[in-house]
Amino acid sequence: MTEATHEPAGAPVADPEANRREVLYWRLLARLFDPEEQAALESASLAVVEDIGLPPALLDPRASVDSVVQRHPELAAEFDRLMTPETDDEEGTGRDRAAEVRRAALVSKVLLNVFSTGSGTVSAGQLSDWQRDAGWLERALGSKPGDLAAIEADLVKRMHLREVLADPALAAQLTPSMSLIEQLLRDKDNLSGVALANAKALIRRFVDEVAEVLRTQVEKTTVGALDRSVPPKRVFRNLDLDRTIWKNLTNWSPEEERLYVDRLYYRHTARKTTPSRLIVVVDQSGSMVDSMVNCTILASIFAGLPKVDVHLIAYDTRAVDLTPWIHDPFETLLRTDLGGGTDGTVAMALAQPKIAEPRNTVVVWISDFYEWHTDQLFASMAAIHRSGAKFIPVGSVTSAGRGSVNPWFRERFKDLGTPVISGHIRKLVHELKTFLT
């Protein structure tokens, strides 16, 4: 009878699923820091992927996530919220080790495609593929569009953009995004002919897409308070049936089973719509491009509201009054000159004379407030606030809701009772809609 062999007490038990997962993640790290293949890691990863029933194309750096999903549509649902935190195991059944290996393969694919961008010139097709892969990563993270703008901006800079724009076939492959629009606006004065026409078409597409989103946000935001000084309109659609019945209950005739109505009651529907003046001042220096684009479009939407008089001023070290083009954000953006320093006093010189009726005026100032003449500018802003006008300092109106603000200005605005709005553009929409409607 042979004697049984025993593992030493406390020895770790081999976990094949953990080993598979580690192989995939070691390959991910190796490829992120060195584009050259590590033969052992590649062959081991291929064996893992095939063994768990996933397509080998997941390991092909040339294959986009889109192309993999097109061939294997059942994987699309797996990428959604792939990298969001999991809920606790309520039933105590433990971790699903096999599922973790599968997740590691899918996570590795989307991370490599987005973050391993190589070097050298980027083609229009490569940028388009990257944009779609970035979309898959945003879906996997459960995040909103725009969080990967820094990487995209680097890719756009590596493109021979003028050559791409001059070729209609290549230009057609471009998908407008904030990074691309920024580059087009910066380079527009150097473009002509076909290249300029293609650049304008891309800017127009982007403006229309963003305008549709912002218009929806404006429409959904709560409007102003009911104006009870205006008698309710006595039409059937405004009839308050419940109140009418309640107020006339004393006229109920039990014998006839009939309610005699002495008076009809109607709902108030009129809202306070005093004519308002909105003055939007936007810092167009290099750090504020996203805000410049968003606010130009937003100003045009509010300019379309009844009884709202909108003015738009853009500035860096110079200021320009863009009000004549306020109804067409595309034309407005073409007249911007992105970049340069920041001197808000030149914008203030244009804005202050526009405040004819302070209590009927709102001034929105969008900037990071890193200014040259800090004390002088803040004194002018405080004077606007004290005059009775509503002054709204805004640190960022980006789709992602990020932005830095000069702490010197932030503290003083807080003490003034006009704290800086920062975050998602919806906050500014709400503030404006509340005041203007």
Q: What does the pLDDT look like over 290-316, one tens digit per residue?
A: 778 888 888 888 888 778 899 999 998
Interval 225-250: pLDDT, tens = 544 555 666 666 677 888 888 788 88
In this prediction, residue 2 carries a pLDDT of 43
Examine the domain organization and report whether 295 and 350 are in the same domain. yes
In this prediction, residue 248 carries a pLDDT of 82
In a domain, residue 194? The reply is no
In this prediction, residue 414 carries a pLDDT of 94
CB atoms within 10 A of CB 386: 11
At residue 74, the 3 state secondary structure works out as helix
In this prediction, residue 144 carries a pLDDT of 67
At residue 281, the 3 state secondary structure works out as strand
**What size, in residues, is the chain?**
437
Helix axes 97-115, 39-51, angle to 10 degrees: 130
Nearest to residue 374, comparing CAs of 401, 343, 353?
A: 343
In a domain, residue 372? The reply is yes
- Phi, psi angles (nearest 5°) of residue 162: -65, -40
Q: What is the CATH number of the domain that holds 313?
A: 3.40.50.410
Question: 219: pLDDT confidence band, cut at 50, 70 and 90?
Answer: confident
Q: Among the three residues 254, 270, 286, which one is the final residue of a domain in this structure?
A: 270
Interval 361-370: pLDDT, tens = 999 998 889 8
Question: 402: pLDDT confidence band, cut at 50, 70 and 90?
Answer: low
In a domain, residue 385? The reply is yes
Q: Among the three residues 221, 240, 270, which one is the final residue of a domain in this structure?
A: 270
Question: 269: pLDDT confidence band, cut at 50, 70 and 90?
Answer: low
In a domain, residue 224? The reply is no
Examine the domain organization and report whether 256 and 304 are in the same domain. no
In this prediction, residue 90 carries a pLDDT of 46
Distance CA 321, CA 373 (A): 21
Give residue for tokens 């990487």: 151
In a domain, residue 223? The reply is no
Cβ atoms of 410 and 196 closer than 8 Å: no
Return the minimum-mean-pLDDT range out of 36-50, 261-275, 306-320, 323-337.
Answer: 261-275
Examine the domain organization and report whether 262 and 333 are in the same domain. no
Interval 201-210: pLDDT, tens = 999 999 998 8
Q: Which residue has the higher pLDDT, 1 or 181?
A: 181
**Please, what sign has the CA dihedral across residues 169, 170, 171, 172?**
positive
Q: Which residue has the higher pLDDT, 433 or 64?
A: 64
Mean pLDDT for 422-428 is: 73
Distance CA 252, CA 180 (A): 71
Distance CA 290, CA 425 (A): 11
Domain holding 258, by residue range, is 229-270
pTM of the model: 0.64
In a domain, residue 4? The reply is no
Residue 214 Cα distances to 111, 298, 313, 434, angstroms: 31, 7, 20, 16
- Phi, psi angles (nearest 5°) of residue 270: -70, 140
In a domain, residue 90? The reply is no
Examine the domain organization and report whether 374 and 248 are in the same domain. no
Give me the amino acid identity at 35: P
> What residues does 266 pair with on adjacent strands?
239
Q: Assess whether pLDDT exceeds 90 at residue 46.
A: yes
In a domain, residue 425? The reply is yes
Examine the domain organization and report whether 249 and 326 are in the same domain. no
Question: 183: pLDDT confidence band, cut at 50, 70 and 90?
Answer: confident
Interval 98-114: pLDDT, tens = 899 999 999 999 999 99
Report DSSP state, residue 32.
H
Return the minimum-mean-pLDDT range out of 257-261, 331-335, 386-390.
Answer: 257-261
Q: Assess whether pLDDT exceeds 90 at residue 4.
A: no
Q: Assess whether pLDDT exceeds 60 at residue 87.
A: no
Examine the domain organization and report whether 67 and 38 are in the same domain. yes
Examine the domain organization and report whether 300 and 362 are in the same domain. yes
Examine the domain organization and report whether 422 and 282 are in the same domain. yes
Residue 340 Cα distances to 286, 305, 363, 378, 403, angstroms: 7, 33, 23, 21, 18
Mean pLDDT for 124-138 is: 87
Domain count, the chain: 3
Distance CA 1, CA 376 (A): 97
Question: 403: pLDDT confidence band, cut at 50, 70 and 90?
Answer: low
Mean pLDDT for 54-83 is: 90
In this prediction, residue 56 carries a pLDDT of 92
Average pLDDT for the chain:
83
- Phi, psi angles (nearest 5°) of residue 417: 90, 15
Examine the domain organization and report whether 285 and 426 are in the same domain. yes
- What's CA 2's distance to the chain center, in Å? 71
DSSP 410-437: HHHHHHHT-PPB-SBHHHHHHHHHHHH-
Examine the domain organization and report whether 316 and 388 are in the same domain. yes
Examine the domain organization and report whether 260 and 287 are in the same domain. no
Percent of the chain whose predicted confidence (pLDDT) is above 70: 84
In this prediction, residue 221 carries a pLDDT of 56
Nearest to residue 282, comparing CAs of 350, 194, 383?
A: 350
Nearest to residue 284, comparing CAs of 201, 186, 350?
A: 186
Nearest to residue 294, comparing CAs of 306, 280, 308, 304?
A: 280
Examine the domain organization and report whether 27 and 102 are in the same domain. yes
In this prediction, residue 155 carries a pLDDT of 84
Nearest to residue 326, comparing CAs of 290, 299, 308?
A: 299
